Amino acid sequence: MQFPDSVAHLVQLDFPLAPSLWLGIGGPARYYAEPTNREELVTLATWAVQEGIPVRILGGGSNVLAREAGVDGLVLSLAASPLSQLAINDTRLTAGGGTKLSHAVTHAVGAGLGGLEHLLGIPGTVGGALAGNASADGRDIGLVTAEIELLQIDGRLVTIRGDEAQFSHRRSGLAGMTILQATFQLDRRDPLALTKRMQKLWIVRGAARPTDVSRIAMPFVDPDGATAERLIADIGLAGIREGGASLNVEHPHFLVADANATSQDCLRLIDRVREQVLLQTGIDLQTNLQIW
């Protein structure tokens, strides 16, 4: 496959994905690239679409489960710093799609801007948070989203208002599009008070996740009015195991992958939990993971 000359040097073949994913599972990407600026990202994504090559965007890797067979397409990483820039203009914060959400939160708090601090501790990137309408303490990121710049699947660049993104509970209408950057409308607050609140949240959120394991992911979306953790614990599924994959005993909304875990172990576990929760509570848990 002949990539455009301007970006061909960025493309790697059969690139191992597992080290970049929180679960540490998955085969290689047929094509992989880490564009160093917006122009390269647009060129790569647009060319791939024109050639009929599927494109997947890799952010922080916290919610991706890749199969051992690998990804037969182009995986674009947004890890390069030019795609993760932050800028403040009065009470507006603009963040690149590849920016870590935690960095956007701390940058806003440091500038005395409130509206994102409740999202501290949620893993992943700004782009991923927008695509899944990340939420905590009853408030989601869509509430403070003013504008989003997108690369559509047909290669066009568009900017939409936040209210055009079809935000709903842990969902948005941004699937299939690459989020280049977003602007958030925040409000002035006391920086010291914001910092203290952020520190408290960090302690609380840190205590609510496993600390003795590294290969973890949150496989389920909290349903409206409940939490996946509570539902799973109440019906006795904490610690349930399928092969090398299990739910953490103390924090059963986390999936833990052992060194020998496979993608099929994880998928079987997820299906088993969803089936039991639906059977015993009538609630159909939705998956938080992207299955590649």
Enumerate the active-site residues.
Answer: 170
Strands (E), 172-270: 178-185, 187-188, 216-217, 220-221, 241-242, 245-247, 255-257
How many Å apart are CA 217 and CA 254, to the nearest integer? 6
CA–CA dist 18, 60 (Å, integer):
12
Whole-number Å distance between alpha carbons of 145 and 92: 10
- 139-174 burial, b at 16+ Cβ within 10 Å, e below that, comes to ebbbebbebbbbbeeeeeeeebebeebebeebbbeb
Integer CA distances (angstroms), 240 to 106, 126, 194, 254, 269, in order = 36, 32, 39, 11, 8
Please report, as a single letter, which amino acid is at residue 79.
Answer: A
Beta-sheet pairing, 55-58 with 71-77: parallel
Rounded to the nearest 10 degrees, the angle between the axes of helix 191-207 and helix 101-110 is 150
